[in-house]
Chain A
Amino acid sequence: MAADGIRTPNPVGVRVILITSGVVACALAWGALGLGLSDLVPTSGGLSLAGRFFARAFSPAWQSEARFVPDGTPPLLEVAFEATLQTLILGAAAMSLALVLGLALGFAASSAWWSGAGPESRRGVYGMLRRSFLPFLCGASRLLIVVMRSVHELLWAVLFLAAVGLNDLAAVFALAIPYGGVLAKIFSELVDEAPRESARSLRGLGASGLQTYWFALIPRALPDMVAYGFYRFECILRSSAVLGFFGFPTLGLYIRQSFNATNYGEVWTFLYALLILVVAADAWSGAVRKRVLA
């Protein structure tokens, strides 16, 4: 306490403690793994492999590099185009399902549309139902969302492969479940954090919770939701490509095959195809956002 009665704040505040403990935790993690810079020095074999691989970055293959090409095999560029298309199709199908899941679960997990309701909604049987059922629905949805997104899409893919084998629907679900969970979490948070004045004023003129949610809260959160949705679409295209490693006919399948056959030029062809796909998706999202949300 200073003499003039003004209390000087403690220099070791909560923030300092948080940051220090974060830094210490990171240092401990590195120590626990026994990481050192010496691990980064590659073996001579590894070095030459990396050299051969990266050397082909500037000369991707234009046609098949396989020594034996069976009759009827389509040209490499056609394979790359087909695989890119499959990657896009799987990504789009999974994203559409994820969006439906995200919007529905996001609505169920959001509290903004019922927690701010007026006093009249607390009365009677209806009020009792509301007070018990809606918080329960909200909590249950949040739990479901956690389960969906805490399992990675590759693990979902393993599970579905084991359960139903290699089919397209399994791939769609493997992507849609974790992506739907993440979208639901972010959507419900965006809506719950959006300014509430417009919702309150619609309530004031007699609008129901459902109406307030869709006509006041969602529109306010929509620009952020659309931006985040597009970002996740980009992510799902990459995930869709990687699912090929399990045998789905997306870019990952061909990347793995070519890599195993040490046809590095082909690997780069497929990697560039993925790059073009992601850049195109990004350009598209930019154009749409500019037009719709400006």
Chain B
Amino acid sequence: MVEAAGFQLEDVWVRFGAVSALERVSLEIAPGSAIGFVGPSGAGKTTLLEALNGSRPATTGTVRVGGRALRDFGRRELRETRSHIGFIHQGLDLVPNLRVSQNVIAGRLGQMGFARSLGSLLFPSREVLREVYAILERVGIPEKLFEQTDRLSGGQQQRVALARALFQKPTALLADEPVSSVDPARARDMIDLLTRVSREEGLTLCMSLHNLELARTYLPRLVGLRAGRIVFDRESTAIDDGAFESLYALRAPTDDVPHPIDRDEPIASSQPRGPGEVRLDGG
């Protein structure tokens, strides 16, 4: 098993031109812990996840993976690091007209040269196929090994995406709204699977979720985001309905002051905020 990766964000800003997608975000995510990002659409959840594997670099501030700042990584190192961070996207993002086995094997593209990846995708060895089969068994769809991926249902494709991430021999799993396209029963199933597998493998799990009930049930720690800023960062048992309601309210609690953290907000924790406060022991 690969050692789990931890993440640290220090005063991270991500700007697109004049617009800030993330503002002064500081977070510490311990190796092997599980954390959920909640908040309304456009709050910066996806940007935050993308900042964690460096596909969206911080405009200012520092993102550290495994204790090292991403900006110090060379091209090769960054590729290597990414190749061990699974990312499950909102829109599936598998290659629809490849087989399930090929999509899963593609998880290791970042760890192979071009010639080897060509061989491995077109003529996978028995050994590799056995490995893929074992992972598909784990996510519950071993019988789909050679099926064309776009013939699978949305829920099954989501499992293929998880299988691809697991095939990476990941140190962390990032999941962006992984259940937005499936019905509630399947959503619960998938979140259950995701959290169980990451726990068994000892992986760090960062997931953004719209479904607050699922978030609270399955993730021990939740970070609320609104307009690119962290509104709360607490153990999920300590978050009441009021906090969620104001997080998702169509208007900010008071319109004249745009940033809730700057003020004594009912939804923000009354404790002083800082990198130390957001640390979660155990998880």
Contacts and interface: CB of A to CB of B under 8 A. Distances in A.
Nearest to A221: B97
A198 interface: yes
Nearest to B56: A119
A205 interface: yes
Given A205-B110, A206-B79, A198 B85 contact: no
Interface of A is mostly: helix
A264 to B, nearest CB: 49
Contacts of A198: 93-96
A204 B98 contact: no
Contact of A124 (B75, B86, B109): B75
Interface stretch (A48-56, A100-108, A143-151, A210-218): A210-218
A185 interface: no
Contacts of B152: none
Contacts, number: 85
Contacts of A204: 50, 53, 55, 82, 87
Interface stretch (B16-24, B113-121, B195-203): B113-121
A214 B93 contact: no
A202 B89 contact: no
A238 B109 CA distance: 43
Contacts of B184: none
A123 B75 contact: yes
B89 A211 contact: no
A115 interface: no
B109 A201 contact: no
B95 A215 contact: yes
Contacts of B97: 219-220, 222-223, 293
A146 B91 CA distance: 37
Contact of B82 (A200, A206, A223): A206
Q: In which size bucket is the chain A interface?
A: 20 to 34
Contacts of A216: 95, 106
Contacts of A214: 114, 118
B109 A207 contact: yes
A197 B89 contact: yes
Contacts of B168: 205
A6 B240 CA distance: 45
B111 interface: yes
Contacts of B86: 205
A121 interface: yes
A201 B78 CA distance: 15
A234 B91 CA distance: 38
A208 interface: yes
B54 interface: yes
Nearest to B97: A219
B16 to A, nearest CB: 13
Give the most central of A126, A197, A203, A220: most B CB within 10 Å.
A197
A203 B109 CA distance: 9
B89 A118 contact: no
B98 A219 contact: yes
A203 B78 CA distance: 11
Interface string B22-52: 0000000000000000000000000000100
A4 interface: no
A120 interface: yes
A223 B148 CA distance: 14
Contacts of B114: 208, 210-211, 214
Give the most central of A205, A207, A216: most B CB within 10 Å.
A205
A120 B75 contact: yes
A205 B82 contact: yes
Contacts of A207: 106, 109-110
Contacts of A202: 95, 106, 109
Contact of A201 (B75, B89, B117, B121): B89
Contact of A197 (B54, B83, B93, B109): B93
B189 interface: no
A201 B96 contact: no
Nearest to A121: B75
Give the most central of A197, A210, A214, A215: most B CB within 10 Å.
A215
A201 B57 contact: no
B146 interface: no
Given A204-B55, A215-B109, 18 more contacts: A120-B73, A120-B75, A121-B75, A197-B92, A198-B93, A198-B96, A200-B93, A201-B89, A202-B106, A205-B86, A206-B83, A208-B114, A211-B114, A211-B117, A215-B102, A215-B121, A219-B98, A293-B97
Nearest 3 pairs of A and B residues by beta carbon? A206-B110, A206-B83, A201-B93
17 contacts: A120-B75, A121-B75, A126-B75, A197-B92, A204-B55, A205-B83, A205-B86, A205-B107, A205-B110, A205-B164, A206-B79, A206-B111, A207-B109, A208-B109, A215-B109, A219-B95, A219-B98
Interface of B: 50, 53-55, 57, 73, 75, 78-83, 85-87, 89, 91-98, 102, 106-107, 109-111, 114, 117-118, 121, 164-165, 168
